[in-house]
Amino acid sequence: MKAKLKAITDNSWLVLDAGKKGNVGILSQTIQGKFDLLDKSGERETFESKKDCLRFLGTTKDVFSTQLDNVNEPGTFFIQGHPIKYKNPYPIDEYHPSYNPKIPTFAKTSNSDVYYAAGWYCINFDKAWKHGNCPKLSTLLEYGYEGPFANKIECRRRLRELNREKRSIDQS
């Protein structure tokens, strides 16, 4: 594997696959001077020296001494505890006419009339329940919904139950 590093802190790096441009894992230097690589699958590899680490990464160039890009990305925006996947959303407050206390709502721009619901939802379409992250508010109100859920796993668990119920009702 040919890899390149992007600095996260002075002694930790994001390991990127140079060929595919994908994340491979996180590399950190311990207090003892060893290097720990935690890959995407959760497996940990420890290297006794910088040389061993470079050999594993498939490079002879000392990538630790070069000027590395900083990986600081803007923080995630949350509305009522639900992460928003859009940059700079505009939350709808309680004084807005479209405010619904059960649905954390936001717009993508300040002058938009299209509103979105923060979080994961199960949406009751005609043929089956489907899941959605930050769906349009109009979609939730038109088809019916359950949520918001804190994460995709909770949403999908409830989605399975809802679809089983819907199939059993349709068969009877």
Q: Do 93 and 47 belong together in one domain?
A: no
Ramachandran quadrant class, 80 (left: phi over 0; alpha: psi -120 to 50; beta: rest): left
What's the pLDDT at 1?
59
Dihedral (Cα; 165, 166, 169, 171), 10-degree rounding: -110
Q: Do 127 and 167 belong together in one domain?
A: yes
What's the pLDDT at 136?
96
Whether the model clears a pTM of 0.75, i.e. scores above it, the answer is no
Q: Do 165 and 81 belong together in one domain?
A: yes
Q: Do 49 and 83 belong together in one domain?
A: no
Cα separation of 165 and 172, whole Å?
11
Tokens of 66: 């070069």
What's the pLDDT at 66?
47
Min mean pLDDT across 12-21, 79-88, 107-116 is at: 12-21
Among 23-27, 36-40, 100-104, 157-161, top mean pLDDT goes to 157-161
What's the pLDDT at 65?
53
What's the pLDDT at 62?
61
Inside any domain, residue 67: no
Q: Do 94 and 27 belong together in one domain?
A: no
Overall domain count for the chain: 2
The arithmetic mean of pLDDT across residues 99-125, rounded, is: 93
Q: Do 151 and 95 belong together in one domain?
A: yes
CA of 19: how far to CAs of 2, 7, 22, 148, in Å?
7, 19, 8, 39
Of 29, 57, 85, at which residue does a domain stop?
Answer: 57
Q: Do 94 and 51 belong together in one domain?
A: no
Q: Do 157 and 98 belong together in one domain?
A: yes
Inside any domain, residue 149: yes
pLDDT greater than 90 at residue 10: no
Cross-strand pairs, 120: 133, 149
The arithmetic mean of pLDDT across residues 66-78, rounded, is: 58
Inside any domain, residue 71: no
What's the pLDDT at 82?
87
Inside any domain, residue 72: no
Domain carrying residue 39:
3-57
Tokens of 63: 């990538």
Q: Do 97 and 51 belong together in one domain?
A: no
Inside any domain, residue 68: no
Instruction: Quote the percentage of the chain above a pLDDT of 90.
Output: 40
Q: Do 85 and 40 belong together in one domain?
A: no
What's the pLDDT at 108?
93
